[in-house]
């Protein structure tokens, strides 16, 4: 990857679910350490764009390049390995495995990457501490509030020290106070670890935490605008 | 009251109008209830099936003991048993001869057959018409004059015949031909002996309990989705009691549908019952009908049970009006009552552990209650055992961790489903243990059919009957070697002895005889107190002294061509050549021939039967070797295996539906796991562990309980306690196979669940 090349770039992505087009020529670039907010109304295709970027969904046409490597031709196994080692995820609902404790949830990506249980959980505790929820380590997701759960999810997304964190409406189920807190912690933690963040949201208040905004409408990306981070 | 009805009706409407998902859940629950209802109705028909069979076999009962013997009269009938086998099937045959115009007619016939006329059961008629029955036709070659009606048959597949004969005579010293003046004895029937009745009770309990577990599991399908719906109703103002009644209404719809469907399945099973011979068992459709009381109990009990299970499941759930459904902290399972159930069963069984099975058979209700309580105890203990065990599990890889944590969060659902397998396996282990213990009394022979023994009766000079029999059998196709002897009963003081009569060649098969000539006598001193010079009274009253020059010889030991045959292996104490008894007037005596069969013996034995029938229709032919069981015992084994297959299908289906349901409800967390790179194989392994851990615990508990129950049952029937390791291993392997199959069957659904669609929140 050359110095000028973006960390992650998608070009002319097309994706349809049955007869309904979700993406219709969307393109985006994300630089290392950058926080990019993908905005748009409900059903505009922003989540699908995020899924294509993360290698969760294969586009029907177009290209996705990560550190110079084309992802559309990768096998499922290669994409899974990439997601385990290089990417982190935060979703709006249900992102924590309900049967695992919070510390086990955070340790999960590390363990999947081959780290021993003890070391994985040690690091997971450190991340919980950084996200100010260390006291939740032994609790299960059913025993914590929505805001606390999202902070645990952010810790899990960052625990494996990914280069890119994908966050799909991470504050969508939270009140504004909790939402602000989660975004502050996500941004700070990502910045400290040097991870880029692709943030899908339809709330300008949340998008304000990003460095740049990309608007998706009817499956197409529109001109981007610089956004000042709140922090 | 009307509010109750309204709420129940609302629940019913919600079940119908909840979209495809709700309908699927109602359908699954209804299917589960239907299978349970159908099996319960079949089980409820068993008493009627057995009593109808008993009535019919009792009505044709043809043994009468009178002292003094009955004299010929206008209402008497001579009858001779010609019970036979063809391939692996029993063939019931009777020769009949009326002694007067009022002679009784057997049930199922409209008149007595005239001499040479053959009346056959429909199944035998079909067999005789078929190519398969060619060898049987040789000994049943008479023209078929009529068919035996259902009232004269044990079942539609029974092979039976009656034939008229004008040769029948009652012989003073033979029981082959009997004189009777009626068929049937009040209260008589084939019945089951006490040991078999004990086993039948256990079979029934072992089959029905898993069905009950399945019905209970089916009623919980779709629980979480229903809870979400109820939460929405709470938001609209329904209180907790109302939501419970609405949930009961939903459950009722599924249960009533299941009841109807189950009744339909039962009617279909009943309709085809006459055409199906499952593992050799056949019943008349008309006999498959539950008693009104039992049918009512099923009709009321199953919907009530489904509702109760639903309400019990709701006790552990807090339904929040804001739409969040949170499981309350699961209540710790109490062990005392779970342990009390099997202990109560043990208390009931303990007094029966004595005697030869009569005590147990005389107290069937107590036995059934004891067995049921022990088996229910397995089902009751299992959730506690699983909970206690999984809380101690830790470590391991990601898949192991996901599985154990899931079980720690809620092991009840898995344990409930596995309870069905556990109960079935506990019952099956108990039965296998009992079967293997009593097997000695019910199993005849082993390996392929090598030797056939033929018994017939004959008179004339000493040795003539044996010679005639041997000559007839030597001509039979597939008979390699034939040895024939005669038995002459003898009394020596208070003891009964047997003198064996045969030629030198045959006698040499029995004992180490070097020199032998007609007229010689030998004594096997190791078997008797008789010695040369001893005096005995022969059958028929003649006195005879064992010649003083008779030689003392020893038996052969080791394997010989006809070793298993009665004519060469049964060592009689005195063996004589025909010349030694020449001049003594002997009555009709038993001639026994042993025939070494060619090949696997399958066709040869039929040729031997045909050859024997040609000289004596009432000759008895028994194959030695070829695993053959007493018919009642074999029927129970067959019932057990058929039932075990049905139970495994039920439980496997239950586990599969439960696993699919869990996948649907965990769609989002699983999709998230896949999104951040968890290999699908790791998730599949976690599902495998999730099924395997409770099954392993269930099987361990089941084997322990089953072996204990089996040991108790063996003690009850006075048999030595043993443990059938092979069958336990087989059952454990079956349990493992069910787990693997269920997991394999969930993989396509798992792959679909892991698709990114599961991530979509909108």
- pLDDT tens-digit profile of B110-141? 999 998 899 999 999 999 999 988 889 988 88
Give the C-alpha separation, B80 to B171, whole Å. Answer: 12
Give the C-alpha separation, B166 to B170, whole Å. Answer: 12
**Which of B414, B677, B750 to mutate to probe the A interface, most A CBs <10 Å?**
B677
Q: Is B569 or B444 the better-scoring residue by pLDDT?
A: B569
Chain A contact set for B405 (CB, 8 A): 97, 99-101, 104
Residues found in chain A: 231
CB-closest option in A85, A91, A117 to B759? A91
Which chain A residue has its CA at the smallest distance from B679's CA?
A: A80
Give the C-alpha separation, B319 to A119, whole Å. Answer: 39
pLDDT in tens, B721-747: 777 677 677 777 777 787 788 888 888
- Burial (CB < 10 A; 0-12, 13-18, 19+), residue B671, is buried
Give the C-alpha separation, B737 to B692, whole Å. Answer: 10
**Which of A81, A99, A120 to mutate to probe the B interface, most B CBs <10 Å?**
A99
Chain A CB within 8 Å of residue B324 CB: no
Give the side-chain half-sphere CA count within 13 A for B637.
Answer: 18
**What is the per-residue pLDDT for A15?**
92
> pLDDT category, B445, cuts 50, 70, 90?
very low
Structure tokens at B90: 């029993």
Contact B761 A91 (CB under 8 A): yes
Contact B677 A98 (CB under 8 A): no
Which chain B residue has its CA at the smallest distance from A100's CA?
A: B405
The pTM of the full predicted model, rounded to 2 decimals, is 0.61
Contact A111 B398 (CB under 8 A): yes
**What is the per-residue pLDDT for B124?**
93
Contact A117 B405 (CB under 8 A): no
CB A186 within 8 A of CB A210: no
- Residue B277, SS3 per DSSP: coil
Give the C-alpha separation, A117 to B398, whole Å. Answer: 9
Contact B759 A96 (CB under 8 A): no
CB-closest option in A77, A95, A169 to B672? A95
pLDDT in tens, B65-123: 776 777 888 999 999 888 888 887 889 999 999 999 999 999 999 999 998 899 999 99
pLDDT in tens, B25-60: 677 778 777 877 887 888 788 778 878 888 888 889
Average pLDDT over residues B14-27: 67
With residue A214 as reference, give the H or E element that holds it.
Answer: strand A212-217
Average pLDDT over residues B483-498: 84
- Residue B597, SS3 per DSSP: strand
Q: A199 to chain B, minimum CA–CA distance in Å?
A: 15
Chain A contact set for B320 (CB, 8 A): none
Give the C-alpha separation, B476 to B611, whole Å. Answer: 6
Which CATH code for domain A8-98+162-223? 3.40.50.300
**What is the per-residue pLDDT for B103?**
92
**What is the per-residue pLDDT for B446?**
43
**First-last CA distance in chain A:** 30
Chain B contact set for A170 (CB, 8 A): none
**What is the per-residue pLDDT for B559?**
42
> pLDDT category, B324, cuts 50, 70, 90?
very low
Name the E strands within B546-610.
Answer: 551-553, 574-576, 589-597
pLDDT in tens, B624-655: 765 444 555 666 666 666 666 666 666 777 77
Chain A CB within 8 Å of residue B65 CB: no
Is the previous residue joined to B761 through a cis bond, with omega within 30 degrees of 0? no
**What is the per-residue pLDDT for B444?**
44
* Per-residue model confidence as pLDDT tens for chain A (231 residues): 555 578 999 999 999 988 888 899 999 999 988 999 999 888 888 889 998 998 888 899 999 999 989 998 888 888 888 888 889 888 876 578 887 889 988 998 888 878 888 899 999 999 999 888 899 999 988 888 888 888 898 888 888 889 999 998 888 777 788 788 888 888 888 888 888 999 998 888 888 889 989 999 888 987 665 555 444
Chain B contact set for A103 (CB, 8 A): none
- Residue B392, SS3 per DSSP: coil
> pLDDT category, B437, cuts 50, 70, 90?
low
What Cα–Cα distance (Å) separates residue A201 from each residue in A39, A41, B462?
Answer: 5, 9, 110
CB-closest option in A42, A80, A112 to B398? A112
In this complex, how many residue pairs, one in chain A and one in chain B, have their CB atoms less than 8 Å apart? 93
> pLDDT category, B302, cuts 50, 70, 90?
confident
Chain B contact set for A97 (CB, 8 A): 402, 405, 669, 672-673
- Chain centroid to CA A211: 15
What Cα–Cα distance (Å) separates residue B664 from each residue in B22, B29, B650, B690, B752?
Answer: 13, 16, 21, 16, 10
CB B596 within 8 A of CB B450: yes
pLDDT in tens, B502-511: 888 888 877 8
Q: B219 to chain A, minimum CA–CA distance in Å?
A: 24
> pLDDT category, B8, cuts 50, 70, 90?
confident
CB-closest option in B326, B401, B675 to A83? B675
Structure tokens at A6: 């973006």
Chain A contact set for B761 (CB, 8 A): 47, 91-93, 168-169, 172
* DSSP code of residue B511: B
Contact A109 B676 (CB under 8 A): yes
pLDDT in tens, B452-472: 788 887 777 888 888 888 888
Give the C-alpha separation, B430 to B354, whole Å. Answer: 17
Contact A80 B679 (CB under 8 A): yes
Give the C-alpha separation, B305 to A140, whole Å. Answer: 33
- pLDDT of residue B281 exceeding 70: no
Calculate what percentage of chain B has a pLDDT beyond 70.
77
> pLDDT category, B762, cuts 50, 70, 90?
very low
Return the closest-CA partner of residue B412 out of B391, B382, B389: B382
By a Cβ cutoff of 8 Å, what residues of chain A touch chain B?
Answer: 42-43, 47, 51, 54, 56-57, 77, 80-85, 87-89, 91-101, 104, 108-109, 111-112, 117, 140, 142, 156-157, 168-169, 172
- pLDDT of residue B752 exceeding 50: yes
> pLDDT category, B279, cuts 50, 70, 90?
very low
**What is the per-residue pLDDT for B638?**
62
Give the C-alpha separation, A57 to B759, whole Å. Answer: 11
H helix runs in B274-319, sequence order: 292-314
Q: A100 to chain B, minimum CA–CA distance in Å?
A: 6
- pLDDT of residue B413 exceeding 80: no
How many CB atoms lie under 10 A from the CB of residue B116?
A: 12
Q: B673 to chain A, minimum CA–CA distance in Å?
A: 8
Give the C-alpha separation, B337 to B344, whole Å. Answer: 10
List b or e across B191-211, with b for residues whose CB sees 16 or more CB atoms inside 10 angstroms.
ebbbbbbbbbbbbbbbbbbbb
- pLDDT of residue B499 exceeding 80: yes
H helix runs in chain A, sequence order: 46-53, 76-85, 102-112, 117-130, 146-159, 176-193, 204-207
Chain A CB within 8 Å of residue B147 CB: no
- Burial (CB < 10 A; 0-12, 13-18, 19+), residue B622, is middle
Give the side-chain half-sphere CA count within 13 A for A45.
Answer: 26
Chain A contact set for B668 (CB, 8 A): 93-95
Contacts of B389 (CB under 8 A, 6+ apart): B693, B697
Which chain A residue has its CA at the smallest distance from B675's CA?
A: A56
Q: Is B354 or B425 the better-scoring residue by pLDDT?
A: B425
- pLDDT of residue B711 exceeding 90: no
Which chain B residue has its CA at the smallest distance from A17's CA?
A: B757
Contact B676 A42 (CB under 8 A): no
List b or e across A50-88, with b for residues whose CB sees 16 or more CB atoms inside 10 angstroms.
bbbbbbbbbbeebebbbbeeebbebeeeebbbbbbbbbb
ipTM of the assembly?
Answer: 0.72
Determine which of B5-9, B147-151, B592-596 has the lowest per-residue pLDDT on average: B5-9
**What is the per-residue pLDDT for B648?**
67
Give the C-alpha separation, B575 to B511, whole Å. Answer: 9
Structure tokens at A121: 């959980």
Determine which of A80-89, B223-232, B305-314, B364-373 has the lowest per-residue pLDDT on average: B223-232
**What is the per-residue pLDDT for B236?**
64
Give the C-alpha separation, A178 to A150, whole Å. Answer: 9
Contacts of B755 (CB under 8 A, 6+ apart): B671, B674
Contact B761 A95 (CB under 8 A): no
Chain B contact set for A111 (CB, 8 A): 397-398, 401
Contact A112 B761 (CB under 8 A): no
Query: For chain B, what is the mean pLDDT?
Result: 78
């Amino acid at each position: 990857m050359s110095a000028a090349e973006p960390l992650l770039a998608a070009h002319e992505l097309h994706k349809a679910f049955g007869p309904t087009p979700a993406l219709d020529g969307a393109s985006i670039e994300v630089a290392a350490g950058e926080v990019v907010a993908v905005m748009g109304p409900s059903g505009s295709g922003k989540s699908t764009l995020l899924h294509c970027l993360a290698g969760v969904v294969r586009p029907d046409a177009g290209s996705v390049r990560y550190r110079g490597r084309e992802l559309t031709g990768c096998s499922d196994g290669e994409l899974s390995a990439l997601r385990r080692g290089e990417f982190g995820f935060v979703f709006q609902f249900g992102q924590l495995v309900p049967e695992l404790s919070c510390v086990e949830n955070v340790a999960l990506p590390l363990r999947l990457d081959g780290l021993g249980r003890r070391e994985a959980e040690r690091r997971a505790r450190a991340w919980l501490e950084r996200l100010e929820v260390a006291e939740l380590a032994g609790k299960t997701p059913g025993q914590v509030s929505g805001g606390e759960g999202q902070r645990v999810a952010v810790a899990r997304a960052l625990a494996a020290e990914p280069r890119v964190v994908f966050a799909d409406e991470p504050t969508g189920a939270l009140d504004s106070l909790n939402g602000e807190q989660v975004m502050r912690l996500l941004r700070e933690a990502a910045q400290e670890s040097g991870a880029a963040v692709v943030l899908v949201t339809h709330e300008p208040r949340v998008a304000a935490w990003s460095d740049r905004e990309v608007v998706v409408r009817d499956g197409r990306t529109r001109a981007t605008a610089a956004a000042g981070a709140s922090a | 009251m009307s509010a109750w009805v309204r709420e129940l009706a609302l629940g019913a409407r919600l079940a119908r109008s909840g979209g495809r998902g709700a309908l699927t859940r109602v359908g699954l629950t209804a299917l589960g209830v239907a299978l349970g209802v159908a099996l319960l109705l079949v089980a409820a028909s068993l008493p009627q099936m057995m009593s109808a069979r008993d009535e019919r076999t009792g009505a044709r009962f043809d043994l009468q003991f009178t002292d003094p013997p009955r004299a010929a009269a206008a209402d008497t009938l001579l009858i001779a048993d010609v019970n036979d086998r063809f391939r692996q099937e029993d063939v019931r045959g009777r020769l009949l001869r009326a002694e007067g115009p009022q002679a009784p007619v057997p049930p199922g016939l409209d008149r007595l057959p005239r001499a040479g006329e053959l009346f056959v059961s429909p199944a035998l008629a079909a067999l005789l018409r078929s190519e398969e029955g060619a060898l049987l036709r040789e000994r049943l070659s008479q023209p078929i004059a009529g068919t035996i009606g259902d009232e004269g048959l044990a079942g539609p597949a029974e092979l039976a015949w009656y034939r008229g004969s004008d040769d029948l005579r009652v012989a003073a010293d033979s029981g082959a031909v009997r004189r009777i003046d009626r068929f049937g004895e009040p209260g008589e029937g084939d019945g089951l002996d006490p040991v078999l009745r004990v086993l039948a009770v256990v079979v029934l309990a072992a089959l029905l309990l898993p069905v009950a577990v399945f019905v209970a599991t089916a009623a919980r399908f779709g629980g979480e989705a229903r809870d979400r719906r109820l939460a929405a109703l709470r938001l609209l103002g329904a209180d907790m009691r109302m939501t419970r009644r609405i949930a009961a209404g939903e459950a009722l719809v599924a249960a009533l549908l299941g009841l109807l469907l189950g009744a339909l399945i039962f009617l279909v099973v009943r309709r085809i019952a006459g055409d199906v011979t499952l593992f050799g068992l056949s019943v008349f459709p008309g006999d498959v009908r539950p008693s009104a009381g039992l049918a009512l109990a099923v009709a009321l009990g199953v919907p009530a049970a489904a509702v109760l299970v639903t309400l019990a499941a709701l006790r552990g759930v807090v339904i929040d009006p804001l739409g969040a459904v949170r499981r309350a902290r699961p209540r710790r399972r109490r062990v005392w009552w779970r342990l009390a159930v099997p202990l109560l069963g043990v208390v009931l069984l303990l007094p029966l552990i004595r005697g030869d099975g009569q005590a147990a058979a005389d107290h069937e209700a107590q036995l059934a209650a004891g067995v049921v309580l022990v088996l229910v105890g397995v089902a009751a203990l299992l959730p506690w055992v699983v909970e206690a065990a999984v809380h101690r599990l830790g470590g391991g890889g990601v898949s192991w961790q996901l599985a154990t944590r899931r079980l720690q969060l809620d092991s009840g659902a898995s344990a409930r489903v596995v309870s069905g397998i556990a109960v079935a396996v506990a019952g099956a282990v108990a039965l296998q243990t009992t079967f293997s213990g009593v097997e000695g009394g019910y199993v005849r022979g082993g390996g392929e059919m090598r030797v056939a023994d033929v018994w017939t009766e004959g008179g004339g000079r000493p040795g003539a009957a044996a010679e005639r029999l041997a000559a007839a059998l030597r001509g039979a196709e597939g008979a390699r070697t034939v040895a024939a002897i005669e038995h002459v009963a003898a009394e020596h003081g208070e003891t009964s002895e047997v003198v064996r009569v045969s030629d030198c060649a045959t006698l040499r098969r029995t004992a180490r005889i070097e020199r032998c000539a007609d007229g010689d006598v030998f004594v096997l001193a190791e078997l008797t107190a008789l010695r040369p010079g001893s005096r005995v009274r022969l059958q028929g009253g003649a006195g005879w002294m064992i010649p003083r020059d008779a030689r003392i010889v020893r038996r052969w030991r080791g394997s010989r061509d006809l070793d298993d045959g009665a004519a060469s292996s049964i060592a009689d104490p005195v063996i004589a050549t025909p010349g030694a008894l020449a001049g003594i007037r002997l009555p009709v005596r038993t001639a026994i021939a042993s025939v070494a069969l060619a090949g696997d013996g399958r066709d040869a034995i039929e040729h031997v039967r045909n050859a024997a029938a040609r000289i004596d229709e009432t000759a008895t032919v028994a194959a030695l070797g070829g695993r053959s069981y007493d018919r009642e015992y074999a029927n129970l084994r067959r019932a057990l295996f058929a039932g075990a297959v049905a139970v495994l299908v039920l439980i496997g289906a239950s586990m599969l539906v439960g696993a699919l349901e869990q996948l649907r409800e965990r769609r989002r967390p699983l999709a998230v796991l896949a999104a951040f790179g968890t290999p699908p194989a790791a998730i599949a392994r976690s599902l495998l562990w999730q099924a395997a851990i409770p099954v392993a615990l269930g099987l361990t508990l089941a084997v322990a309980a089953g072996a204990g129950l089996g040991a108790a049952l063996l003690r009850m029937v006075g048999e030595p306690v043993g443990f059938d390791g092979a069958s336990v291993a087989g059952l454990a392997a079956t349990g493992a196979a069910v787990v693997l199959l269920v997991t394999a069957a969930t993989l396509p659904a798992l792959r679909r669940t892991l698709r990114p669609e599961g991530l979509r929140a909108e």
